[in-house]
Amino acid sequence: MTSFNDQLFDRAQLCIPGGVNSPVRAFRAVGGAPRFLERGAGPRVWDVDGREYIDYVCSWGPLLHGHAHPAVIEAVREVAGKGLSFGAPTALEIELAELVCRLMPSIEQVRLTSSGTEATMSAIRLARGFTGRSKIVKFDGCYHGHGDALLVKAGSGALTFGQPDSSGVPAELAAHTIVLNYNDIPQLEALFAQAGDTIAAVIVEPVAGNMNMVLPQPEFLTRLRQLTEAHGALLIFDEVMTGFRVALGGAQSIYGICPDLTTLGKVIGGGMPLAAFGGRRDVMQYLAPLGPVYQAGTLSGNPVAVTAGLANLKLAMEPGLYERLGEMTRAVTEGIVRIGQEHGFALSTCSLGGMFGIYFREALPTNLGEVLTSNKERFKHFFHGMLDAGVYLAPSAFEAGFVSSVHGTTELEQTLDAARTVFRHLD
């Protein structure tokens, strides 16, 4: 008998391309039908067939405090009763902007948007307008949203301009984007020696979270900061994923780097559509209505989304929260890897705050090429085994995972018990 979940997927495919409204939700990388979720509470979710899962996706990062946290829900309920949108300023926007600027000292001014893609796209436009240059640099495997200039993969050789990574992106536009290998300092130095004075900005995930999770090597971010400063290019930290997720001050506070611009999303919205970009005052004042760089959004600073973000961030300011979050994340991931290794499987893991990566390879990867050598077939079987055992992981070997502040000892023990069962039967 066909499950209700499968019936919904059949219906969805008739009216929604691929049956999903974001490709990352599809199960194409692992096979099968995506789970249609009905509700969530704390660290758990339930699908439309009533199956319960421990959730390590957390809406792809925003749910730092789990699903339906009472403080967030109550704040949203109260403000929603006053109106959903005004298209005019509210005091809530100022409160959130002030809090972001206080928590991230590199941000002197901030502009709210509705999505991470909008934030990164706008930051790139601002960098080009401020510097008067056209070329930007990104790193292979880092994802910065689906803006045309950023959907670019590496060219055929080092120091070449990128090639479109999606149909519909003109080659002429992609030609303004240079793609380098993540963590490759010699390649970075060679590029700046050759063309540094033509580069408007370098955009980077300080901790890569879209090729699974890859940590920056020692000196990579430091050298990046030195080279951009020396050549008058702006450094943009894409902290849509890492901002308030790996630390209260983001990855930049962990590595001690002060970027010119920062993009934020996910946690800043607490599960609602909200993102932001901000940075140096002199750069941000190039934005309209003060400056010549245009950026706008009807729902930017939506009061309901801002309220959810404020509640989420205020909860994150609890003393010791990130230390406890990091301990739980390490306990989960290192426990899974240890169990897998005891059963003879090559595994490695890394984590930072409430963000983690698990790889079916012996050594931690440092770039996309190494990530691609992971055993994807083995991950596929592991994923479905854990799903059947009630543990919901990202449906791809190339996506980071997330732990919330409300994952506890019970979830840890159930997750490791599931891993023992799965690895016992894994080919």
Show which residues are catalytic. Answer: 143, 238, 266
> Token pair 């479905």 is at which residue?
384
Three-state DSSP class for residue 396: coil
> Token pair 């070997």 is at which residue?
397
Beta strands 275-279 and 348-352, pairing class: unpaired
What type of residue is 358? I
DSSP letters spanning 16-63: SGGG-SSGGGS-TTT-SPPP-EEEEEBTEEEETT--EEEESSGGGTT-
What letter does residue 3 receive in the DSSP assignment?
-
Provide the token pair at 291: 């400056």
Cβ neighbors of 8 (< 8 A, separation 6 or more) are 36, 48
What type of residue is 137? V
Question: What is the tally of helices (H) and strands (E) in the chain?
Answer: 14, 16
The DSSP bridge partners found for residue 239 are: 264
Q: How far apart are CA 248 and CA 245, in angstroms?
A: 7
What letter does residue 216 receive in the DSSP assignment?
P
Give CA angle at 161 (155, 167), nearest 5°: 70
Q: How far apart are CA 260 and CA 131, in angstroms?
A: 12
Q: Exposed, middle or buried: residue 345 (CB in 10 Å: 0-12, 13-18, 19+)?
A: middle
Provide the token pair at 103: 């928590």
Provide the token pair at 293: 């760089």
* Alpha helices in 285-408, H assignment, sequence order: 303-316, 321-342, 368-371, 376-388
